[in-house]
Structure formats: C-alpha cells, structure tokens
C-alpha cells in the first residue's frame, strides 16, 4: 500500500526525531524572497545537471521572468549547518527540507524553483507526488552539458573560490566524478525540458516553454 506523503517524508527523513520539520520549513520560507505574482496551478521546478553546468544561472534568470521563489541548495546548507552532524548527511537533509518547503509553498499557491541537482530518480518521483498532492505541477529541467564542459567550468569555479573572487566550496576531481556517476538523467517518462547553456537561444526557448505551460494570476 502506498504511503501517505507525510509518512513517506517521515520514513526518508535523516533528521533527528526531535526536529520539527514543519517549523524548520516555515523558518526556511521566512528567509526566501517570495514572488508577488502567482501561477495557476502553482509549479515546482527542479533541475538535473552536472556540477557547474549553469543551474544557478538558469534559476536566477527564470525567476526574473516568472513569479518563482528560488530555493538555493547553498543557502539551505548554511541554514541547516547548526543542525547537521555529518557533512555526508547534508544532501539527504537538504532534499527533505526542500520537499517540505515546496509542499508548503504550493499549498499557498506560491511557485518555486529548486536550485540543486536532484540527481536521484526516486527523489524526483517523491517530489512529484508531493507537488501534485499539494495542488501543484512539477516541471523537470535537464541542464545539458558534456562532462568535459562541466569539468572545465568546475576547475574555473574552484580557481575563483581559491582566489576569494566568489563564494562556494572546492569540488575536487574525486567529488566531481562522484557527482557525475551518481547523477541519473531524466527518463523519457519524466518528460523533462532541456536547457543547453552553450546554445545562445536556449534560455529564451526554455522561458517561452514555461510561459506556455503556465498561466499567471495577479
């Protein structure tokens, strides 16, 4: 028998039992820049892409053209830092907190985009269940660049972080290879949109596709 969304979250949650996930999600929502406009139905956009593929660039640009709250993995990691016991658990905790935050936003009619690599198909399926149960619509975007291009961009980002030119973490070659190997690209059944950062018109095309898939309410 299929678990209810609340039960599913409880089963997969890596948080300590004493943590109130509802309170944590509300605290997370309070620090977000919430859009004034609304989409009907509310949407939740999740991204799948290799490290340094341009996910954050895409998220920020889509939020300029559509009423979307941006859930940043980097900012959520800072938010969770006092509650995380081991770094290896961070990804699991981020997904669970994002899931609950997306649920609460969609229930209020607020659309959002999750600036993170949702690399597991099981996580994407669970987010889809949660979004639809809360009255929203899930949209998956595959940020499509080659492994070689991603590694080149990662090396450039590492250099900028080392020189203090940008904030972030150093992703060494072993971690890069792990991220690549553990990223399961969307299947045909998932009906993901495709964004190609190296193609000039791709950002405009993906924005237009999203506009056609949604309607805006005042």
Measured CA to CA, the distance from residue 174 to residue 153 in angstroms comes to 15
Of 125, 110, 104, 145, residue with least CA distance to 46: 125
- Rounded to an integer, the average pLDDT of 109-130 is 96
What does the DSSP 8-state code read for residue 51? T
What span, in angstroms and rounded, lies between the C-alpha atoms of 148 and 56? 19
Helix (H, G, I), strand (E, B) or coil at 200: coil
5's CB contacts (< 8 A; 6+ apart) are 103, 129, 130, 133
| Residue 206, both tokens | 């993906």
> What's the confidence (pLDDT) of residue 83?
52
Q: For domain 5-213, say whether CATH 3.40.50.300 is its number.
A: yes
Residues 23 and 14: their CA atoms lie apart, in Å, by 16
pLDDT of residue 8: 40
Over range 120-124, report the average pLDDT.
95
Q: What is the pLDDT of residues 32-77, one digit of tens each?
A: 999 999 999 999 999 999 999 999 999 999 999 999 999 998 888 8
Sheet strands (E) in 50-186 = 69-72, 112-117, 137-143
Single pTM value for the model: 0.87
Residue 134 has pLDDT above 80, yes or no: yes
Give the pairing type, strands 69-72 and 112-117.
parallel
- Whether 61 and 203 have beta carbons less than 8 Å apart is answered as yes
How high is the pLDDT of residue 203? Answer: 95
Both tokens of 14, joined, read 């890596």
Q: What is the pLDDT of residues 142-167, one digit of tens each?
A: 999 999 999 999 999 998 888 888 77
- Residue 143, pLDDT score: 98
Does residue 88 have a pLDDT over 60?
no
Looking up tokens 């994002």 gives: 98
């Amino acid at each position: 028998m299929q678990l209810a969304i609340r039960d599913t979250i409880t089963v997969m949650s890596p948080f300590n039992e004493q943590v109130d996930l509802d309170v944590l999600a509300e605290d997370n929502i309070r620090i977000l820049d919430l859009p004034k406009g609304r989409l009907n139905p509310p949407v939740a956009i999740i991204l799948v892409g290799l490290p340094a593929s341009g996910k954050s660039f895409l998220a920020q640009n889509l939020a300029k053209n559509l009423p979307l709250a941006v859930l940043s993995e980097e900012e959520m990691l800072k938010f969770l830092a006092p509650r995380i016991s081991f770094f290896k658990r961070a990804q699991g905790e981020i997904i669970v907190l994002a899931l609950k935050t997306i649920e609460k936003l969609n229930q209020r009619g607020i659309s959002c985009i999750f600036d993170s690599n949702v690399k597991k198909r099981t996580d994407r399926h669970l987010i889809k269940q949660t979004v639809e149960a809360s009255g929203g619509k899930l949209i998956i975007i595959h940020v499509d660049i080659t492994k070689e291009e991603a590694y080149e961009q990662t090396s450039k980002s590492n250099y900028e972080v080392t020189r203090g030119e940008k904030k972030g973490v150093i992703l060494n070659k072993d971690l890069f290879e792990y991220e690549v190997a553990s990223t399961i690209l969307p299947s045909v059944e998932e009906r993901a949109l495709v964004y190609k950062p190296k193609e000039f018109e791709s950002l405009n095309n993906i924005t237009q596709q999203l506009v056609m898939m949604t309607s805006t309410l005042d």
